[in-house]
Structures are given as C-alpha cells and as structure tokens.
Structure 1
Amino acid sequence: MRNAVCLFALIVAVLCAGNPLPASAWEHWGGDRGGSRFSPLKQITPDNVGNLVRAWEFRTGDLDRRAPEVMKRTKFQATPLLVEDSLIFCSPFNEVIALDPGSGVQKWRYDPDISTAQRPANRYTCRGVAYWVDDRAAENAACRARIFMGTNDVRVIALDARTGIPCADFGNNGEIKFALGPLEWPGEFQITSAPVVARDIVIVGSAIADNRRVDALPGTVRAFDARTGRARWEFDPLLHDGIIAGHANVWAPMSVDEERGLVFLPTSSPSPDFWGGKRPGNNDYANSVVALRAETGERVWSFQTVHHDVWDYDLPAQPTLARIDTAEGQRDVVIQPTKQGFVFVLDRDTGKPIWPVEERAVPQGGAEGEQLSPTQPFPTHVPALLPQRISPGDVFGLIPLWDRGACRAQVASARNEGLYTPPSTQGTVVFPMTGGGVNWGGAAFDPVSQILYANTTRAIHIVKLLPRAAVADGFSPPPGHDFGRQQGTPFAMTRAVALSPLGMLCNKPPWGEMVAVDLKAGKILWRSRVGTTEDRAPLGIAFPFGTPLVSGVAITAGDLVFTGAMDAYLRAFHARSGRELWQGRLPVPGVANPMTYLWKGEQYVAIGAGGHSESGTTIGDSVVAFRLARPGEAPSLWSRTIDRPGGRFMSGAIAVAVVVLLMAMLVWRWLRSRAGA
C-alpha cells in the first residue's frame, strides 16, 4: 500500500509541476521544459548501482579527422535527447548525430560544415539541441518531428528528427543565418546553448566575446516560426537609455512554461565586465531573470540579481521551474542559482521573491569614473551554497613556507573586502571566481522531496585594472592571465585564477562540491566533494579535493544523483545522504550534463565525455552509456563501487603526506645547493 501511495504522489507531483515527463524520455536539454533534470526512472537504485556496466561507447571521430590545434579549442558539453527512438546530440562542431539507444550505433549524421578557421571566443562547443513536433502535420510527413540547433557560426538549423535531413520549408533550405553588425573577427559571436521551443516559436540566445569593447554587439534574443523560420520578434535584454554598452546576452540555457506561454531568460552582464563608467545605473534587464511572452517577445516581468555588474556575475544557469510548498500553500516558482552561490526563488507569474530578498550595503570605492550600486540583493531564506569571502589565512598549499606562502601573498596583495569588492588597479580578489558557484550545468529539482541539487565550484580570481597608458599595442599579459582591452574605457583588465607554484588552487578544498538543499526549510542537507586529482596529478595521485564543476547533475526516483567532473569518471551519489556510491570510468572527463533513459526495459545513464579545453583536461570525442549488468554478464572493468569512503580519504591523506615529504626533500636539497654555492 505504501509503495502505491508513493507512486501516486510521484505521478501527481510531476504532472502538477507543469512538465509531464514520459517514463522513458529525456526530450529536452534539462530533462523537461523547466530544466528539473529529474527522471521518474528507478530501476537503478543505491542497492544495485554497483552492478552498472558500460553498455557502449560512441566516438564522433573528431579526434581522428581534425587537427590537434583545432581540438585544443573544443569543449564537449552536449547532453543527448531521447526522441524518436534515437539518442540525438551535437558535437562541438555542430554535427548532429543520432544513435541507437541500446547499442550506440550511429543511425544518421548531419554536418553543417563549420569553419575551423573562425576561432570562436567561447571555443567550439554545442551544449545541445531542441526537439519539437508539429501537431498540424500528418503523422508520416517529413519534418513533422524536428531538431533545432544554433551553431558556432550563427545559424539556426532545422532537421527531420527521424532522418537528419534539413527541413526545406524552414528558412533557406533548413537554416537561417543571422544578420549582425560588424564583428572584430568571425568568432566574436556564436550560439552555444540549445534553443527552446514554446507555442511553436523557436527562441535562441547568443554567446559574445567578453571585455573587448564598450560598444559591443547587443545580446539580442531572437525568435522564429518553428514551421517556416520566419522572424517573429527580437528582445534586447538591456535598456540603452543614456548608456554606452552592449551584451546582456543570454548564453545560458533558457526554460519554457508552455501552459503560461512564457520563456524565461537568464541574462548576462553588459559590456565590458569589469568597468561600467559609461553605463550608469542598475543596467536593467541585464543580470536578470526575464520572463517574456513566447509568441510576442513582450516582457512580463524581470528580477535583477546583480545591480550594475562589474564582476562578471552574470546568470550562467538555466532557470529551474518547479512547484514548491510554502506557508501560503503550493506555488509555481522559478529557481535561479548564481555564480555567487545564491539561490533566488521567484513567483512564476510575477517575478517577486517567494521569501524576502534584502538589499545590503556592499564595498564601495570603485576605479576612477565608476558608478557602483551602493547595495546588492541577498536572499534570506535559502543559505548561500558556498563561502563568499576568503582571507589570507584561508589559503591552501602543500608546503607552508613555499606554495602556501605564495598563495597567501597573492591574496594579501589584492583588495579583498568580501563579496562585491570592486575591481581595482591594485588587483581585487573575486571569490567565488567569475566561473564559480553554479555554472551552466544548472541545478536539479526533485518534485517529490522538493530538494534542490547543484554542483558548485570554489576558486579565486585576481582581477586587475590596467590604466590605458600602460597597455601598448604590443602588450602581452603574464602567462596564465586572461586579457581584455575594454576599448572605450580608461582601463584594460587581466584576470587569473589564483594558483600555487605546484599548479593547485590557492583556496582550501573542496574545489568542487555537490550541495543538496531543502527549499521548504531553507536548509542545506548535505555537501559532498566531487572528483579527485587522479587525472591531473603526477603518478595519478587521487587527492580527494574535488574538482571545479561547471556541469550539472541528473537525479532519479531511484534515490540517485549522477554527475561528471574534471576527472574521467561518471559518479553516482545517494540522493538522501550524499554518499558517493559508484564510479564509472570514462575515456576522458565528462564535463557535460548526464541524462538517463529507458530503452527496451533497461535503464541507461549516458554522458558526453570529450573533455574541456579551457580547464586543461585531456580532449576526446565520446558519448558513453552505462546500464545494469544482464544475467551472466561479467562485471565491467570500467565500473567500481565506492563502499569505503573513509578508506579513500585515508589513501588521499597518505598521498598528500608522500608528496609533502618529497617536496620537502627537494626544497632541502635546493637550499643546501644554494648554501654550497
């Protein structure tokens, strides 16, 4: 009886969330239109997850067909969809590939022939595609079911989901090419995240190179008729009255409430990121969750999470649509995680916070010509998912007088007054870093337990403003530093992750952590480190420090949370306790969102495993799927159960001690040699 009640509650919860999800499907990039990343499948459980075996591996062939210098500029971030009896995903070069879900054998492939000479600012990447069915078309009509994709060279492409053939009635033989203003180079503007489809309208955002110039391109969101490709509307997410700026683009994934006819945009910061003297005011509707009418582009509401952003704290994550219990009853909400580690929970109809958000005073004294906001919004009910301040005493290093001392010096030399310390010519500590907190992988929401799960990254950025006179045409930044000329401002900028001489992050571990949050209670339930240094450290030493986590998680009704990391494993965690239960070895790191599906009675978990060039991982071109072992099937060498987490930590501690001893011996020998000289 209890199981029947639980099953009924699960069905009701999923249906009431406004995002019905067939038991076998993963039809949207975030699992459903609202990005919950939740699957009702429960064949794989904490009791049997150790029996997972590698079902298949598919390689796109990019490693073999493309030059090494081109592959070094790729990020494999795609999440496959299960639609039309196929797993469909895109490669970093926008090839759309359909696989047999049970075997991983290719069924069809479409190549848009992306130029590899354009050097896109955000690397070659494609996070996913969108699926749509034309309910007016005949059942067997060509392109009744369509796949939409935005490309690195700024096209929107429509394909028949069953064959991969371009839809001749969409745009110009299946594609639309944007008309843009002048570009500094062909890769300055691209499309990296999957489009969304709402009320038969295809909606796409864009990714634009940061910190190049004040008068950058606007971050216009564009909408097209899903049948014909005819332009329907455009929305510029930045009010331009009295300011000089561009961007505020939507590079992260969007969400859709089909019933309400709303599309939810996570907007980014105006140009440039770190000096805003020519864009006074709060810069509405940048750094905001914006709700638009899908059919017209009319703004319904917006909520700004950062006023007058000069920290690159744009919204990188898909807004998650959910239904939650509150003191006033059930509410349909938009959950927006941020790089700072905040979680804003907004009413879906009005955009007003469900729980109080306070405007608090923040550090002042910006660079010359800057006009900072005196306050910033702070949620009060849900605690921050990670620390938001770091002191010289919080730095990390294996050897106190050497690498830890170097890290302490980096932090101590920069301006450091906590969250929202303004950029400066002295150098400013930005913690969490501009790629920290919750990134494009977004959060996942269990509609039954009403628990939110999110991967987070902890790292320090040192941002420094350089007076224009100090930046000659031939200026080169120090190694490891990003450089932006910020043309049209008094300052260029550099940005660097604070690293020790050993190449380790200067802040204390964990560097990557999964967090589970009870939204109703406003309480963090557990934290778990995700990832080790096994695939980065010498001799494969697996320091249990966690790795930076830009990708997200998938959760199931089987009480499991799946995620990748910057090491080459797919992992499963117990959803209730956060305990790591299982690891599945991948050919290279799976820096993509995993997904799960049911095929011919068996549950699979799949992830793109192609690495992440900006993070320095090895690069590959694979999609890998796991399933439970069949009767008589031998255990997989690619799968292992984690049944003694304490033992793993102890092995990591021993490894640290060994490395410290070796480094101490090297330093001692170096000191003696210096003394002898």
Structure 2
Amino acid sequence: MLLLAVLFFVIGIVLTVGGIWLLALDGSLYYLIAGVVFLVVAITLRKRRTLANISYAALLLGTLIWALWESGLSWWPLASRMGAWLVLALPLLIFARNRLSVNRLLLPVWAICTVVTLSPLAMDEPTAVKGTMAEKVVSPSADIGFQEDDEWQAYGRTNLGQRFSPANQITTENVSDLELAWEYQTGDLKGPNDVGETTYEATPLKIGNALYICTPHNWLIALNADTGKELWVYDAKVPAESQRQHQTCRGVSYLAPENDTATNIVEPATQPAETLASMQCDAQLFLPTSDARLIAVDPKTGARCANFADDGVLDLMHNMPYTQSGYYYSTSPPLVAGGHVIVSGSVNDNYDINSPSGVIRAYDAKTGTLQWNWDAGNPDETAPIGEGETYAVSSPNSWSVASADEALGLAYFPMGNRTPDQLGMYRTPAEEKYATSVVALDLETGQVEWVQQFVHHDLWDMDTPAQPVLLDLNTDKGVEPALVVPTKQGDVYVLNRATGEAIFPITEEPAPQGAIPGDFTAPTQPTSAVTFKPEPLTEAKMWGATPIDQMLCRIEFNSLDYEGRYTPPSENGSIIFPGNFGVFNWGSVAVDPRRQVMFGMPLYLAFTSKLVAKGGQDLGATNQGEQGVNENAGAPYAVEMGPFLSPLGVPCQQPPWGYVAGVDLQTGKTAWKHKNGTIEDLTPLKLPIKMGVPGIGGPIITDSGVAFMAASVDNYLRAYDVKTGAQLWQARLPAGGQATPMTYMNSQGEQMVVQVAGGHGSIGTTIGDYVVAYKLAK
C-alpha cells in the first residue's frame, strides 16, 4: 500500500505542476484538478481508504464526462484519457476486496467507465466515410498509354502517370489466393556513413521479360521477370557524401528502340555490367544518380551507351551557379518523351541560400545534346545555355516525377519551392509565380504553356510532390483532357491539361498572417473543391499514450504558434499541419481512367517549425534534413523542424493518422475513406491493432477493381477493393515497403505483383534490400 501511495503521490505532483503550467497557457483545467485528486488519494490511502476510493471514483466519473465532452464516443481519444486511470483503479479495488463498503461506490463507477470506454470498439470510426464507388465502365476506350498488360514501361506505367494496369487476372474474389512467387535481395544496404534518409523508394520497370530496379546507391539491376533471377548489375559507383539530403532512387526511365520491339533478356551477363565496354545502344535505360549524373545503359547487357553524352554519362552539374557536393541530384526518374530525356532535380532544402539551380533540361535522348532548358528563375529564355553562362541561383526545382501528353505536345512538372523554404525574402517575381505549382512546358521548346499555383508565397515546404495523373474525364462540358494532382496540403486539383483551367472549382480562402520582419504572408491561399485538407487542430485533439503524455502535448500545443493551415513559421515555433510529409507525397494517387475513379492514401501528421536567429551562435549539428536543424547558410535564420511528437515519440495529435480513400472523379466526391495500417511495427509488443498509421509510398489499380499498396509504417503489402475500400489481402514484408508496387503478366500468362521492400531511413521502418513478387496459387 505504501508503494501505491508513493505512485499516486508522484503522479499527483506531475499532474499538478503540469496542470498549473497548462492553465497558465489558457489550457484545460482538468489536469490540475486530476493532480489534486491524486494527491488526496495518496495522502488518505492508508488510513482513510473510503475517502481515497470515493475521491478516485469521482475522478473516474469526472474524467469520463470531460472525455466525452471533448471527443465523444471515439476509441483512441477515450482510451488515452481513461485507460491508465482505469488500470490504476484495480489495486484500489483489489486491496479493498474484503471491505465491501469501501468498494460500494468505486466498483460500479469503474465498471460503468470501463464499459463506456470500450464501447467505441463496437462502433464505426467517427472519421470514416462509408460508401461505394460505381463499378460501371464509363470510358471503355480510355487512353491508358498502351493496351498490353504485360509491360510497365515508366514509373507510373506510362507517361500518363495513372498507375493503372489493364491486367485483370487477380480479382476481388481470388486475391486472397496470392502467394510469394520469388524473393530477391539486391545486396545494397544502408551503411554507417549514409545520411538518415537512405531509402528504398523504387518502382521497377518491366520490359520484355526483364525487370529493371535501381537501389539507393544507384545500382541498376536487371532481373528475370518470371523467376527473379539476377541478369546483370550496373553499379554507378556513387561516392558517399554527408551533405546529401536524400540517398534514394525512385526508378529508371526507358527509351524504346526505334523498331519498338521489346527488350527480351533470357540469360544473365557473364561479368559485372559496369566492367563491360560501352556500346552503341538501340534501346536505352536512364539512371539518375545521387552525385548528379545521368547514365544511359543498354537494357540487354547493362553496358553504358557510347552514343549518349560522354561515353554514356552526362554530368548534370554543367552551368550550375553553385556546385556544392551533395546539394543537387535527381532522386526521380527523368521523363522520356518527344525524343528527349528531360531531367529535373532535387535541391537540398534549407542548406544554403546560394545553391544550385532547379532548372529543367531536355537532352536529345540518343545523343545527350542539350535541346532546351527551362529555369523558373529565368523562365522566358529556353534556348540551350551557352558555355560560361549559369542558371539562376537556388531557383524552384521539380524533384518528383513528371508526366507527358505527346499528342498535345506538353510535359507537366510538379514544382517545388526556392530554398530556403521558410524564408521568402530572397524570391524574385518569376520564382514566386512558378513555385509550388504544376507547370506545363512545350515538349519541343520548353516554353511555358500554362501554370497553376497551389500555394502563394510558400513558407511551409509545401512542394507539389506528386506526379500529375492524366486522363480524359467526362464532365458537364463533355470529355475534357484532365490532369489530377494531389498536394501536400491535402487539396486534389483537377485541371484541364490543355489550358490549366480548373475543372472542379478553386477558391481563395483567408490565410493566417504574421511573418517575420522582412518577409510577408499571402492574404489568401487556394483550395480545391476536391480536398482532403484536415480539420484544424485544437487542444482537445491532442493525444498521448498516457494522460501525462497527453498533458505535455497540450502544453506544447499551447506554447507554439498555431492558427490553422498556413500558420507562418516563427522564432517562437509554429505547428505546421499538414506537416512536411504532406497529406499526399511522391507516391501520388492511382486512377482508373475507364471507371474514372481515384484511389489515394491521405496522411495526417503535424510538424513543428522554428526559425532560429543565428546571430553568431553555435547551432551545433546542422543540415539534418526534415528532422533537425538546417543552417540556411547566408541567411539570418536557421530552421529547426520535425514531427510534432510526445515525449514517448508518438504523434501529439489523436489518431487515425493514415487512411485509404476513394474519389469519384466525375463528381469530385469522396466515396469512402477508411483508416489504414496497424501499430504492429511501432511498438515492441508487435500488436496488430488497426489504428490508421502514417506511411509514404503510393498505390496502383488494376482493371479488375483491385488496388495494391504497401507504404504504411507496418511492414505489409495490402490489396483493397476499389469499390468499397475494404482490405482483401495482406502479406508480411521482410522490410519497410515505402515504395509503389507494380504489376504485369509474365511469360507464362500469370499476373505478378512486385514490391520493393527496403525501408525508409527518416521514418524508421525496417531496413532491407528485398524485391518480392506474388502470384496466384496454382
């Protein structure tokens, strides 16, 4: 009993001190009251046990009423408020088991509170949207790029970026029969000198009977598409560099041979591909590297293509205004369209105000000769830059995947921001116009045809992160050439891809004000009629694994600046919600152009952002990427950012944090939305509790109405019914599946589903080097 009294006393002191602190911040009175009750129980527990139990019963009943008032009958908010207190009631009940009068009040109160707390488990999740999407094919002749179901020739299967396959052997009825067909390990693992964000984000290509996969350190690997047998490996020999923000490769690109015959590899190379003599190539694979090169490789042998650039290697640092090692490189596959290979790149966020340019450049796909360059810092001059000239400093970049409509002669690039992301005083009018947008460029000249901006004067790193999806959409005006692009801030924009005009309305909403001296905030920000933007955070939506954890999150919430979406960064520190990972990220969405529906994975995870006035002070370790301090060399402020987490390392906002959702693109309405993923790999206990967890990656859709996606922070590949969002199947992955899967028909007429599973350094999933393939059991 003494130990129990000490425990209650310690909890009471913590709650009382924290409750006074929270109350001083105009927060909830509850924690102070709870702290006083715990102290009363601790003091009276030994000699006046009846008073102790009555006091504790009052605490339980009061907490239940308060919890229902704040969050209603929702399981996770109730569990975090009531769970620990219900468990602590057990020793009070047990030690008083022979004194019925003592338990006469506490026992029924405890029972009632327990039943009410558990009752939401039998109810639907309040945040869910239940419904169905129509299965009817409304556009049977829809453009899907190419009709064959045995190929996957670009990151999004084709340059339309739909992530839609006409393969339909795997259906909603038989998907539960999927089993592992083969497993391959690349041998490329995260090393001790690698940056934190060393990640496997690759989606393989399937051409002929070969798969082509790139690894974080830029190995290009060819596998037999039937068996997973290694055919050849080309190692780009990328040196280590601590100043890279990312060490990743999302994929490679393919230039088909002029006679358009598929590449078919049957036997492996007899020696490492990088040791082979370069050769003249008909077909070509393009490998972007993290040391800013573009390498052209022969699909059959893995030898470099002597006809391209300098013996198959193009140095992407040419004509850059600054050339710091590790500050510029391509993490995404280039766009191959119109006879060009068009390369954009990633510029490190918040490292230096004087950084390489974000220029987009088109090279002759066969020779590597520069054809045009479009730089948001100098948008009107697209003729190839001359020797000795340089591109604009630190101009907005396009680090994600581009799309193309060759019939219209346009390429579509999702644009990021100018570094530094949180400091807008360095931007030119042109950079303001093109940052955080989608820009349509003429394939032949690089000239801008149209631009649609999604954030004005972006101070939040709300880069447009996802590949635009192209389809022909049935609208009230008839069939329109449409472009669908999801954004970090949660809006999904549906535009006419010929003109850039909105198909679903875009409105301007008032935005929070209050930038630092010398900067400004835009008075309004756009939002789309199709949106997954989150409800604003409130103190009542703070969460924690325990009430003390939750109290500390409330204190932090009330200590930071927060006025809703687009709260500007500040020296005090601001809550940025949605955070840097965004509601959507590079995984984009999948679209079925025949049924005109969309499958996506909205994510809700708040970040914090703090501007640190340098003033000559030692900032300690800097340039730590999305979780830590970045220097902003040359600027008066560094920036410190990271997820908004409790002291126990769980998100401070209440779950669910991750969903799957379906949208009818003809109406713009969300048909269904369900929480996705479990906490199995977030806790040492390996509990497969479906909570709705964060993730990063993307989905694919098949013609049979099945969607596949891994992405979430538990290590599973899952299949879903596109009509309802119901999960149909899952397979345990040997590592984190933070990559978008793909599917194809093998040479035996079997539909395969392939997932790269290597983990993601910045979100802490299991690291590995696996490629796994599934097919239906015979």
> Whole-Å Cα distance in 2 between the matches of residues 45 and 352 of structure 1?
37
Q: After TM superposition, give the deviation of residue 398 of structure 1 in Å.
A: 2.3
Looking at structure 1, the residues matched to 616 and 565 of structure 2 have their Cα atoms a distance apart, in angstroms, of: 28
Equivalence for 2:732: 585
Instruction: Determine which structure has more spread, i.e. the larger CA radius of gyration.
Output: 2
The one-letter code sitting in structure 1 at the alignment partner of 2:288 is G
1:252 is the counterpart of 2:400 = yes
The 1:555–1:477 alpha-carbon spacing in structure 2 relative to 1, beyond 3 Å, is: closer
TM-score normalized by the length of structure 2: 0.76
* Rounded Cα–Cα distance in structure 1 between residues aligned with 2:627 and 2:497: 40
Instruction: Tell me by how many angstroms 1:584 deviates.
Output: 0.8
C-alpha deviation, 1:142, in angstroms? 5.4
**Any conservation in 1 of the 2:550–2:652 contact (CA below 8 Å)?**
yes
The corresponding residue for 2:340 is 201
Residue 249 of structure 2 corresponds to residue 126 of structure 1: yes
Task: Kindly state the Cα deviation for residue 472 of structure 1 after the two structures are TM-superposed.
Answer: 2.9
Residue 476 of structure 2: aligned partner = 327
SS at structure 1 position matched to 2:159: coil
The answer to whether the aligner puts 1:268 opposite 2:268 as a matched pair is no
Contact between 2:377 and 2:428, CA under 8 Å: does it hold in 1? no
Question: Partner of 2:433 in structure 1?
Answer: 284
**Deviation readout 1:14-44 (Å, 9 max, x if unpaired):** x3x5x23312111110111111001111111
- What residue number does 1:53 align with? 179
Partner-residue secondary structure (3-state), 2:176: helix
Matched residue, 1:169: 307
- State the Cα distance separating 1:374 from its structure 2 match: 1.2
Per-residue CA deviation, residues 326-350 of structure 1 (Å, 9 max, x unaligned), is: 1111101111110011011111111
Whether contact under 8 Å (2:218, 2:236) holds in the other structure is: yes
Alignment of 1:40-79 (within 5 A): 40-63=166-189, 67-70=191-194, 74-79=198-203
For residues 626 and 536 of structure 1, the distance between their equivalents in structure 2, rounded to whole angstroms, comes to 26
Residue identity matched to 2:668: G
Give the C-alpha shift of residue 223 in structure 1: 1.2
Which residue of 2 is the match for residue 143 of structure 1?
281
Whole-Å Cα distance in 2 between the matches of residues 237 and 431 of structure 1?
27
Describe how 1:360-509 pairs up with structure 2 within 5 A.
Answer: 360-380=509-529, 382=530, 384-400=531-547, 402-469=548-615, 471-472=617-618, 474=620, 481-509=627-655
Listed as ranges, the gaps of 5+ residues in structure 2 are 1-134, 264-278, 381-391
How far apart are 1:268 and its partner, in Å?
0.2
| Cα distance in 1 between the residues matched to 2:614 and 2:483 | 42
8 Å Cα contact 1:238/1:286 also seen in 2: no
Conserved 8 A contact 1:127-1:194: yes
Counterparts of 2:479 and 2:638, CA distance in 1: 49
Contact 2:153 2:254 in 1 (8 A): yes
Distance 1:138 1:197 in 2: 17
Give ranges in structure 1 of 5+ residues lacking alignment.
1-5, 631-677
Matched, 1:608 2:756: yes
Structure 2 CA distance for partners of 1:534 and 1:287, relative to 1, 3 Å: same
Aligned to 1:626: 774
Alignment of 1:215-226 (within 5 A): 215-226=354-365
The change in CA–CA distance for 1:476 and 1:8 in structure 2 (over 3 A counts) is: closer
Distance in structure 2 (CA, Å) of the matches to 1:573 and 1:479: 33
State the AA in 1 paired with 2:204.
P
Match of 2:206 among 82, 85, 95: 82
1:284-323 matches, cutoff 5 A = 284-323=433-472
Assess if the C-alpha contact under 8 Å between 2:155 and 2:253 holds in 1: yes
The superposition leaves residues 488-511 of structure 1 with CA deviations (integer Å, 9 ceiling, x where unpaired) of: 333221112111122111111121
Aligned residue for 2:328?
Answer: 189
**Normalised TM-score (structure 1):** 0.87
Aligned equivalents of 2:625, 2:210: Cα separation in 1? 45
For these two proteins, the number of residue pairs brought into alignment is 615
2:619, 2:743 → 1: CA distance?
51
Deviations 1:529-573 (A, max 9, x none): 222121221121223222322210011112111101222110011
In 2: Cα distance, 1:327 partner to 1:138 partner: 41
Listed one character per residue, the Cα deviations across residues 123-143 of structure 1 (whole Å, up to 9, x for unaligned) are: 221000111113269999952
8 Å contact kept, 1:71–1:619:
no
Measure, in 2, the Cα distance between the counterparts of 1:172 and 1:55: 40
1:378-432 CA-partner distances (Å, limit 9, x unpaired) = 113x1x22415211111121212x1111111221111111111111112111101
State how far apart, in whole Å, the 1-side matches of 2:570 and 2:446 are.
38
Q: Which residue of 2 aligns with 1:594?
A: 741
The Cα of 1:278 is off from its aligned counterpart by: 2.8
Cα 1:617–1:378 shift into 2, 3 Å: same
Q: Map of 1:337-352 to 2, 5 A cutoff?
A: 337-352=486-501
Q: Which residue of 2 aligns with 1:99?
A: 223
Any idea what SS the aligned residue of 2:488 has? coil
CA-CA distance at 1:161 after TM superposition: 1.5
- After superposition, the Cα gap between the structure-2 partners of 1:473 and 1:413, relative to the gap in structure 1 and judged at 3 Å, is closer
Task: Give, in whole Å, the separation in 2 of the partners of 1:55 and 1:139.
Answer: 24
Deviation at 1:626, TM superposition (A): 0.4
The amino acid across from 1:538 in the alignment is P
Query: Would the aligned equivalents of 1:518 and 1:524 in 2 still touch at CA under 8 Å?
Result: yes
* Partner in structure 1 of residue 671 of structure 2: 525
Could you list the runs of 4 or more consecutive aligned residues of structure 1 that deviate by over 6 angstroms after TM superposition? 6-10, 136-141, 475-480
Q: Which is helix-richer, 1 or 2?
A: 2
Q: 1:477 offset after TM fit, Å?
A: 10
Query: In structure 1, the residue corresponding to 2:194 is in which secondary structure?
Result: helix
The answer for the alignment partner of 1:28 in structure 2 is 154
Counterpart amino acid of 1:609?
Answer: A
Larger deviation: 313-322 or 384-393?
A: 384-393
Following TM superposition, by how much is the alpha carbon of 1:258 offset from its aligned partner in structure 2, in angstroms?
1.6
Q: Report the Cα offset of residue 316 of structure 1.
A: 0.6
**In structure 1, C-alpha distance between the alignment counterparts of 2:169 and 2:379, rounded to whole Å:** 52
Rounded to whole Å, the distance in 2 between the matches of 1:513 and 1:628 is 27
Work out the CA distance in 1 between the residues paired with 2:739 and 2:372: 31
Q: Deviations over 1:39-68 (max 9, x none)?
A: 1111111111111100011110124xx744
Query: Which of 546, 561, 568 does residue 715 from structure 2 map onto?
Result: 568
Could you tell me whether the CA contact under 8 Å between 1:54 and 1:626 is conserved in 2? yes
The 1:477–1:98 alpha-carbon spacing in structure 2 relative to 1, beyond 3 Å, is closer
Q: Output the CA distance in 1 between the equivalents of 2:247 and 2:161.
A: 24
Q: What is the one-letter code of the residue matched to 2:147?
A: L
The 1:287/1:580 distance shift into structure 2, 3 A limit, reads same
Distance 1:534 1:361, change over 3 A: same
Q: Specify the alignment match of 2:78 in structure 1.
A: none
- Say if 1:396 and 1:445 are closer, same or farther in 2 by CA, change over 3 A: same
1:673 — aligned with what? Answer: none
- The one-letter amino acid paired with 1:92 is P
Aligned equivalents of 2:764, 2:262: Cα separation in 1? 47
- Residues 614-641 of structure 1 deviation map (CA, whole Å, 9 limit, x = unaligned): 11112101110000001xxxxxxxxxxx
Contact 2:623 2:631 in 1 (8 A): no
Q: Take 2:644 and 2:218, find their aligned partners in 1: how far apart are those partners?
A: 34
Corresponding residue for 1:156? 294
Shift of 1:71: 8.4
Alpha-carbon deviation of 1:309?
Answer: 0.6
Partner of 1:12: 141
CA distance in 2, matches of 1:341, 1:73: 23
